[in-house]
Amino acid sequence: MPTAVSWFRRDLRLADNPALLAACDVGDVLPLFVLDPAIWEKSGDPRRHFLAGCLAELHEATGGRLVVRRGKPEDVVPAVAREIGAQSVHVAGDTGPYGRTRDRAVERALGDVDLVRTGSAYAIAPGTITKDDDTPFKVFTPFSRRWREHGWPDPAPTPREVSWARADSEALPEAPDLGDTEVLESGEKAARRQWERFLDERIADYDRQRDRPDLDTTSRMSAHLHFGTVHPRTLLHDISGSGQSGPGVDTYVTELCWREFYADVLWHRPETAREYYNAELAGMAYSTGKGAEEDFAAWAAGRTGFPAVDAAMRQLLAEGWMHNRMRMIVASFLVKDLHQEWTRGARYFMQHLVDGDLASNNHGWQWVAGTGTDASPYFRVFNPITQGKKFDPDGDYVRRWVPELADVPGKKVHEPWTLPGGLPEGYPEQVVDHAQERTVALDRYAAARGR
Ligand SMILES: Cc1cc2nc3c(=O)[nH]c(=O)nc-3n(C[C@H](O)[C@H](O)[C@H](O)COP(=O)(O)OP(=O)(O)OC[C@H]3O[C@@H](n4cnc5c(N)ncnc54)[C@H](O)[C@@H]3O)c2cc1C
């Protein structure tokens, strides 16, 4: 029987997996996962934990046949293909900068064995949607219009009976001990449960509720989408099939499109994973030295004295996830109140987020810093106090994550310095004066733009 390798990367599922189906068309299928030190060592423990759970489930779903090997993919994949005499190796195309380079290296090393790319991690593969003159979109709204017009295929069927091939496997990676951090349940089944609950109970109100970090109103599909325990095509298909319509559904589809937009931007401009998309602000002056290090440490630990910022940073440490509105607030605070470069915040997020995704994260940061596509204007400085009062109107979010403030009632929790008895014990003083730092930020931006 001819044999193919199904090399799983960011598509850790059996359902709606066209690359797996393509491998099944060849004959017996060897399910392979390469534990690439270049990725594993850079991932923080929360992401490793999630990945380890996904692999354990995939192992079970493949009848215990998942082969895990550690090493450089350009060494491991050809070695496995040779070992089992595979005709071809099947993957979903990786469109990120590292994945593209890695796959070219693997392709070269495979020689006569084909590396077959089928599909991608997106409803529409990055690079597909362009303007009429074939140039990439730089602004989200026209991209999203074209994206919807283009449409996407139906989900691929789940293969009924796969004839899994055998090869020696190393031990599956152990899920690291996360201490008090409790991350979202991983794996294809958990993704399905999480999604069905959202689709049945939450999506209709998503447009009105999604900005409320105190309520559990968003889908929490980001880590599942990142690791491919579900494909966005499935989500879009389920939404249409649910018979639901209206602003909730519409807004949700738009959010999925943001993910696709940033992946498309990164496809066309891979260097923007690290560099400024809009070089106009590349000469910004940032704070450095001991004071800046102390400020960064306070931000990272959730001890800035700004309750909304502190609650969000502590949620990140506790769950490996943070609500989108809070990501914007803490990113603005780091860049515009503490005057630190967005790249530093982006790196910290990548270490701690379970859903850490180069395209969405680094372009999310660039959006806030005013250096990205379609960016928030540089002069938009989020006020962490008014943002907190607006989006956490009863203060429940802050009280949940900042125990020092747990007894402060209602909205007052956003301004604990105004309490008659002074700051509650253990809660820090504000590290900066927001109004003053806003002016400093605007001056620095003006100077950078004047260069
Ligand atoms: C500074 C910053 C950093 C971010 N880093 C990441 C990251 O590393 N990984 C990541 O997946 N998202 C990132 N986002 C986007 C967004 O915050 C998360 O996708 C969202 O909070 C995940 O929760 P959810 O699945 O409940 O989202 P929902 O509100 O339920 O949205 C559904 C899905 O749409 C996509 N989505 C929603 N908003 C955005 C957005 N602004 N950009 C791109 N995709 C979006 C995600 O795939 C998300 O799962 C970042 C945003 C900012 C401002």
pLDDT digits (tens, 9 = 90+) for 85-94: 999 999 999 9
Q: What is the pLDDT of residue 326?
A: 98
DSSP code for 406? T
Pocket test of ligand 1: the residue of 197, 229, 231, 255 to mutate, having most ligand atoms within 8 Å of its CB, is 255
Query: If you take atom 25 of ligand 1, which residue's CA is the nearest one?
Result: 220
* Whether residue 348 sits in one domain with residue 439: yes
pLDDT at 241 over 80: yes
Distances, alpha carbon 160 to alpha carbons 15, 20, 26, 156, 409, in Å: 10, 12, 15, 12, 56
pLDDT at 451 over 80: no
Instruction: Identify the residue whose tokens are 């008895």.
Output: 421
pLDDT at 375 over 90: no
Q: What is the mean pLDDT of the chain?
A: 96
pTM: 0.97
The residue range of the domain holding 369 is 279-449
Rounded average pLDDT over 411-437 = 97
CATH of the domain at 255: 1.25.40.80
Q: Report the percent of the chain where pLDDT is more than 90.
A: 93
Instruction: Identify the residue whose tokens are 């590292």.
Output: 98
Q: What is the pLDDT of residue 450?
A: 80
Q: What is the pLDDT of residue 336?
A: 96
Rounded average pLDDT over 270-275 = 93
Whether residue 264 has its Cβ less than 6 Å from ligand 1: no
* Whether residue 262 sits in one domain with residue 304: no
* Whether residue 243 sits in one domain with residue 114: no
**Using one digit for the tens of pLDDT, what is the confidence trace for 282-330?**
888 999 999 999 999 999 999 999 999 999 999 999 999 999 999 999 9
* Whether residue 402 sits in one domain with residue 304: yes
Tell which of 224, 246, 270 closes a domain: 270
Tell which of 236, 253, 270 closes a domain: 270
* Whether residue 284 sits in one domain with residue 236: no
* Whether residue 300 sits in one domain with residue 238: no
**Cβ-count burial of 164 within 10 angstroms (0-12 exposed, 13-18 middle, 19+ buried)?**
middle
For residue 264, tell me if it sits in a domain.
yes
Whether residue 368 has its Cβ less than 6 Å from ligand 1: yes
* Whether residue 93 sits in one domain with residue 193: no
Whether residue 144 has its Cβ less than 6 Å from ligand 1: no
Q: Contact, 342 vs 330, CB < 8 A?
A: no
Whether residue 220 has its Cβ less than 6 Å from ligand 1: yes
CA 45, CA 203: separation in Å to the nearest integer?
31
For residue 338, tell me if it sits in a domain.
yes
DSSP 3-state assignment of 5?
strand
For residue 159, tell me if it sits in a domain.
no
Query: If you take atom 24 of ligand 1, which residue's CA is the nearest one?
Result: 220
Helix (H) or strand (E) holding 88: strand 88-93
Q: What is the pLDDT of residue 282?
A: 85
The torsion angles phi and psi of 423, rounded to 5 degrees, stand at: -60, 135
Whether residue 334 has its Cβ less than 6 Å from ligand 1: no
* The amino acid at 254: T
Tell which of 270, 304, 334 closes a domain: 270
Whether residue 20 has its Cβ less than 6 Å from ligand 1: no
* Whether residue 215 sits in one domain with residue 319: no
Pocket test of ligand 1: the residue of 324, 343, 367 to mutate, having most ligand atoms within 8 Å of its CB, is 324
Question: How many independent structural domains does the chain possess?
Answer: 3
Q: Contact, 392 vs 308, CB < 8 A?
A: yes
CA 252, CA 210: separation in Å to the nearest integer?
9
Whether residue 336 has its Cβ less than 6 Å from ligand 1: no
Instruction: Identify the residue whose tokens are 């800035």.
Output: 304
Whether residue 221 has its Cβ less than 6 Å from ligand 1: yes
Whether residue 357 has its Cβ less than 6 Å from ligand 1: yes
Rounded average pLDDT over 381-406 = 97
Whether residue 353 has its Cβ less than 6 Å from ligand 1: yes
Grade residue 159 by pLDDT with cuts at 50, 70 and 90. very high
Grade residue 378 by pLDDT with cuts at 50, 70 and 90. confident
Pocket test of ligand 1: the residue of 355, 357, 367 to mutate, having most ligand atoms within 8 Å of its CB, is 355
CATH of the domain at 12: 3.40.50.620
* Whether residue 113 sits in one domain with residue 65: yes
For residue 169, tell me if it sits in a domain.
no
Whole-number Å distance, alpha carbon 182 to ligand 1 midpoint, is 19
* Whether residue 410 sits in one domain with residue 317: yes
Whether residue 272 has its Cβ less than 6 Å from ligand 1: no
**Using one digit for the tens of pLDDT, what is the confidence trace for 341-368?**
999 999 999 999 999 999 999 999 999 9
Distances, alpha carbon 421 to alpha carbons 361, 399, 413, 424, in Å: 40, 18, 13, 8
Whole-number Å distance, alpha carbon 425 to ligand 1 midpoint, is 35
Percent of the chain as helix, strand, coil, to the nearest 5: 50, 5, 40
Helix (H) or strand (E) holding 252: helix 247-268
pLDDT, greater one: 290 or 375: 290
Grade residue 377 by pLDDT with cuts at 50, 70 and 90. confident
For residue 167, tell me if it sits in a domain.
no
Rounded average pLDDT over 243-252 = 97
* Whether residue 394 sits in one domain with residue 346: yes
pLDDT at 414 over 70: yes
Whether residue 236 has its Cβ less than 6 Å from ligand 1: no
Whole-number Å distance, alpha carbon 290 to ligand 1 midpoint, is 32
Whole-number Å distance, alpha carbon 80 to ligand 1 midpoint, is 36
* Whether residue 310 sits in one domain with residue 397: yes
Q: What is the pLDDT of residue 244?
A: 95
DSSP code for 334? I
Q: Report the percent of the chain where pLDDT is more than 70.
A: 99
CATH of the domain at 404: 1.10.579.10
For residue 195, tell me if it sits in a domain.
yes
Whether residue 219 has its Cβ less than 6 Å from ligand 1: yes
For residue 368, tell me if it sits in a domain.
yes
Instruction: Identify the residue whose tokens are 């967005």.
Output: 342
For residue 424, tell me if it sits in a domain.
yes
Q: What is the pLDDT of residue 89?
A: 98
